[in-house]
Chain A
Amino acid sequence: MEYIIIIISAIFVNNIVLAQFLGICPFVGVSNKISTSIGMGGAVLFVITLSTIVTWLIQTYVLNALGLHFLQTIAFIVVIASLVQMVEIILKKVSPALYSALGVFLPLISTNCAVLGVAILTIQKEYTLIEGVVFSSSTALGFGLALVIFAGIREHLDLMEVPKGMRGVPIALVTAGILALAFMGFTGIV
């Protein structure tokens, strides 16, 4: 039951993009087409889940064990950056098909604050490893969901008559605001 609450809360109520403002750059940057946003969502799901597992283990067995809590930020960013690099190298060798689907998005992800954000949130919320995995993967699903919905809207937006000064990013942000308003409807269900 508690896992279901974590899942619903992470995907809808506390949606990482629309309620917590993490991962805005890829949200605005690669949300022009539905197909690219599905690719990006997949890559983020993969990296966030993996990095949460690794950073959780490091926090518990290295930082907490040695009393080095203040090194959290440095340790996590170094781990995540190298992890993304490693994933890229391994995918290229092991599964070229998956690499060609996700590959272009991987370098973008290391600067995605959602990855570091979810890793830190998992520690702050004092989740166990399994809860952390459930939390991080459903947060990533929430990211993918917001991205795909937004891409769908933006595909239509291209055909609309938009005032000159508002074209591009400004109208996209206003649209995201209305989408965030819609997601506020989920408040209170858990």
Chain B
Amino acid sequence: MNQIQNLTKGFIKENPVLAQLLGLCPTLGVTTSAFNGLGMGLATTFVLVSSNLVVSLVKNFIPDKVRIPSFIVIIASFVTVVELVMQGFVPALFDQLGLFIPLIVVNCIVLGRAEAFASKNTVASSVIDGLGMGLGFSMALTILGALREILGSGALFGFKFIPGEMILVFVLAPGAFIGLGYLIALTRKLNK
């Protein structure tokens, strides 16, 4: 498989959220606005790329039996890096995303890519795979965030362009489930 395909497979065809249905908790939890979705997506992308890089570097030194715990420790270290950096530089976004930043560590996409891809492939393709999956994840979160923000408050990235009251339920919890349900159905249609 060439590297461009390797990068773009995560966008629609193997999109981690919309096609593989992984990482649904942060997808539903943080997408009250497009900006929050994008921030969460990029934070996860950083963890994905770094953990894929390190896992593919050390894959030959880790005994098979303890590989999952080792991967988890590697991932948790990078999540801690993200946590501290975000707390220091973008405290407002950090407060908005709250609990879901430390929870990147249990995001099945990250461990899934480490186990299914980075532990079997070269460093370069693992990094590209991580980047592609991360961007696909960011895309899914940004689209769902934008959908909920437009329908729920008539704004996009905080800029209000539809005046007046909107369908408030879309910024609340039920809107997340309903919006994601329709997005998954749409992705299935596109993948056919």
Cα-based distance from A116 to B173 in the complex (angstroms): 21
In A9-28, which residues have CB < 8 Å from any B CB? 18-25, 28
Q: Residues of A contacting B72 with CB < 8 Å?
A: 77-78, 81
Would you call A117 and B182 a contact (CB within 8 A)?
no
Cβ-neighbour of B173 out of A21, A23, A169, A173 (below 8 A): A21
Contact check: which of B69, B111, B177, B188 meets A78 at CB < 8 Å? B69
B77 within 8 A of A: yes
* B73 at the binding interface (Cβ < 8 Å): yes
* Residues of chain A contacted by B24 (CB below 8 angstroms): 21, 24-25, 28
In the complex, the answer to whether B25 meets A21 with C-beta atoms within 8 Å is: yes
Q: Does A113 contact B (CB under 8 A)?
A: yes
User: B28 contacts A170, CB within 8 Å?
Assistant: no
B77 near A74 (CB under 8 angstroms)?
yes
Q: Which residue of B lies closest to A29 (CB)?
A: B21
**One of A41-49, A65-73, A87-95 contacting the partner:** A65-73
Interface residues on A, range: 35 or more
CB neighbours (8 Å) of B139 from chain A are: none
Q: Count the B residues whose beta carbon is within 8 Å of the partner chain — how many?
A: 39
A interface secondary structure, majority:
helix
Q: Quick check: B174 and A74 within 8 Å, CB to CB?
A: no
CB-contact partner of B180 in A73, A82, A121, A173, under 8 A: A173
The 8 Å CB contact of A170, one of B79, B108, B174, B184, is B184
Given A81-B72, A113-B106, A116-B102, are A174 and B25 neighbors across the interface (CB < 8 Å)? no
Report A-chain residues with C-beta under 8 Å of the C-beta of B77: 74
Evaluate contact between B174 and A180: CB separation under 8 angstroms: yes
Whether A170 and B102, one on each chain, are in contact in the complex, defined by CB atoms closer than 8 angstroms, is: no
Interface of chain B: mostly helix, strand, loop or mixed: helix
Contacts of B21 in A (CB 8 A): 28, 169
Q: Is the CB of A117 within 8 A of B99?
A: yes
Which of A53-83 touch B at CB < 8 Å? 70-74, 77-78, 81-82
Whether A141 sits at the interface, judged by CB under 8 Å, is no
Contacting pair A111 B106 (CB below 8 A): yes
Q: Which residues of B contact A180 (CB under 8 A)?
A: 173-174, 177
Interface residues of B in 11-57 (CB under 8 A from A): 21-22, 24-26, 28-29
- Within the complex, the shortest CB–CB distance from A125 to chain B, in Å, comes to 11
Knowing A24-B28, A169-B21, A177-B175, say if A74 contacts B111 (CB, 8 Å).
no
Docked pose: A116 CA to B99 CA in angstroms: 10
Residue B92 lies at the interface, judged by CB distance under 8 Å to chain A: no
Contact B69 A81 (CB under 8 A): yes
Q: How far is the CA of A78 from the CA of B175 in the complex (A)?
A: 34
B188 contacts A165, CB within 8 Å? yes
**A120 touching B102 by the CB < 8 A rule?**
yes
Task: Judge whether A178 is part of the interface by a CB distance below 8 angstroms.
Answer: yes
A74-B73, A120-B102 known; A25-B180 Cβ under 8 A: no
Contacts of A112 in B (CB 8 A): 106
The distance in angstroms between the C-alpha atoms of A136 and B139, with both chains bound, is: 34
Given A25-B25, A120-B99, verify A166-B173 contact (CB < 8 Å). no
Could you tell me which B residues sit within 8 Å of A by CB distance? 21-22, 24-26, 28-29, 69, 72-73, 76-77, 79-80, 83-84, 99, 102-103, 105-108, 111, 169, 172-178, 180-182, 184-185, 188-189
The 4 A-B residue pairs with the shortest CB-CB distance in the complex, in nearest-first order: A177-B177, A173-B181, A21-B29, A177-B178
